[in-house]
A = this chain, B = another copy of it.
């Protein structure tokens, strides 16, 4: 059976030593969130994840969700684990105290998302969707709706969904057909079918609050005519208990490749009662509030699953005896050496280590910037932080989930034939990780968001939030002898990123197809360079701490330096490939007639 251990040592290193989580406690409203308190909370979160959620991961996959006459049952143990989650107040960790939340920084719940997804990705879908719905209601709904729904949702007693996709449209939401007709009492009657609704129906909570995109009768065509509605499964009574059943039913549960313990539902709305969230026809804006947070959360899924897959690959590589080291027998007392002696096994493990630890640092940094842009007193700093988050969101979503999937695949590979057998659990990580590349905007869409929206936004202002500080840090590192072996290759890769940016911006202006053709190569370059930047930061800190005779974790710090070296030498050169492909332009993609495929 697979293991999972929350990587607390690495988390502490990233939060305290690399990112200075202490700065969050200096933001107004977060005074209590000292580094010590944050780590104490995360240690508790780790216990929940390791002891309650992870043991249900394999069994949940085998059992899946069951559907009968509109009723959905989650696998054995999920309800009890969810109750523990609610009892611990985890749903409200970073939610508004006005509605019963604990008001902790988003960074804390962001880290917790990684841990929960490492332990049990299917389980994490239920609270994750509620989290997104809470955000949308908080930002866009009326005070009355907030008072009615937020306390129950923040307590975890009611859960949430995002009802966007319809059978004929996912990416292109302008095509949706679900209709909302005004009723006399200020509410609406919602009719239509939504598909792929995660947590659309289940047995974990007393009520389920759907956030539904629909069109009003007078709606303009396309995405400018979409409105957002709250549609509860049970209409709340005056004293806020689940009352009469609303006209929304689960029609089926999808049979999927993975995350089988997460109920993915077809939801039928038949004159269901709903209430408008925000202004008419402005639903896409509210949806993006959910989507952006959700996209970062999906990035954390990629990281979480990659981490648990890597941990199990390491455990197996140390344990499995097979063959002898090419450099001479390492374990003469055993019939064979552990496979961790083999260079190619090492290459896979090092790639996984370098990706997960680099991505962790980058992901947490983006998470911290959410707190900065929500709480910092200086509007200029807030704006900078918001720009940074907006720019990095598609990178975190797509690069973390692509590389997270690749990590799951190579980790499975370490097990040989055993990796293909369900019992060992490695193939589940591959199946689960796969969805993260698809939902919340397929990764190709993320790449288009990066080149088509984030890159040109405000004349390139978002890009400068990344390029300027990186440029300065690189220039300084190039002057430090101990850093030059890391900064050198990164400097070149950064140069390619800048050059690619200029080319894409210029070509894309004249011919949008060229930007589209460049987009996935560009995003991958961006991801590699961004993670490379984190490795430069980490190696700097590790060298400093090691020099300060921090012998307690000398091996840990030494590992950081050596992994940074591996990243620069073995992984960063992928930039060369993607750059060359990007520079070749888009003509060869578009030259064939459709019939020639």
Bound: A569/B442 CA distance, A: 25
Asked if residues A592 and B559 are in contact (CB atoms below 8 Å), the reply is: yes
Chain B residue contacts of A256, Cβ below 8 A:
420-422, 427
Chain B residue contacts of A420, Cβ below 8 A:
256-258, 434-435, 438-439
Q: Does A77 contact B (CB under 8 A)?
A: no
Chain B residue contacts of A515, Cβ below 8 A:
326
Q: Please tell me which stretch of A25-33, A42-50, A132-140, A572-580 contacts chain B, meaning at least 4 of its Cβ atoms lie within 8 angstroms of it.
A: A572-580
The distance from the CB of A304 to the nearest CB of chain B, in whole angstroms, is 18
Which A residues from 406 to 455 make CB contacts under 8 A with B? 409, 412-413, 416-417, 419-423, 427, 430-431, 434-435, 437-439, 442-444, 447-448, 452
Q: Does A350 contact B (CB under 8 A)?
A: yes
Asked if residues B430 and A413 are in contact (CB atoms below 8 Å), the reply is: no
Closest chain B residue, CB of each to CB of A168: B321
Chain B residue contacts of A437, Cβ below 8 A:
413
Asked if residues A443 and B413 are in contact (CB atoms below 8 Å), the reply is: yes
Asked if residues B255 and A423 are in contact (CB atoms below 8 Å), the reply is: yes
The distance from the CB of A295 to the nearest CB of chain B, in whole angstroms, is 15
Chain B residue contacts of A347, Cβ below 8 A:
517, 520, 589
Asked if residues A447 and B517 are in contact (CB atoms below 8 Å), the reply is: no
Bound: A420/B555 CA distance, A: 42
* Per-residue B-contact encoding for A558-577, CB less than 8 Å = 1, 0 else: 11001101100111011011
One complex includes copies of this chain to the number of 2
* Per-residue B-contact encoding for A71-108, CB less than 8 Å = 1, 0 else: 00000000000000000000000000000000000000
* Per-residue B-contact encoding for A532-574, CB less than 8 Å = 1, 0 else: 0000000000000000000000011011001101100111011
Which A residues from 348 to 406 make CB contacts under 8 A with B? 348-350, 353, 405
Bound: A77/B170 CA distance, A: 36
Chain B residue contacts of A580, Cβ below 8 A:
573, 576
The distance from the CB of A9 to the nearest CB of chain B, in whole angstroms, is 12
The distance from the CB of A573 to the nearest CB of chain B, in whole angstroms, is 4
Q: Does A586 contact B (CB under 8 A)?
A: yes
Which A residues from 151 to 198 make CB contacts under 8 A with B? 165, 168-172, 175, 195-196
Q: Does A335 contact B (CB under 8 A)?
A: yes
Closest chain B residue, CB of each to CB of A588: B566
Pick the residue among B321, B353, B417 that contacts A439 (CB under 8 A).
Answer: B417
Bound: A326/B445 CA distance, A: 13
* Per-residue B-contact encoding for A313-340, CB less than 8 Å = 1, 0 else: 0100110011101110000000110101
Asked if residues B434 and A326 are in contact (CB atoms below 8 Å), the reply is: no
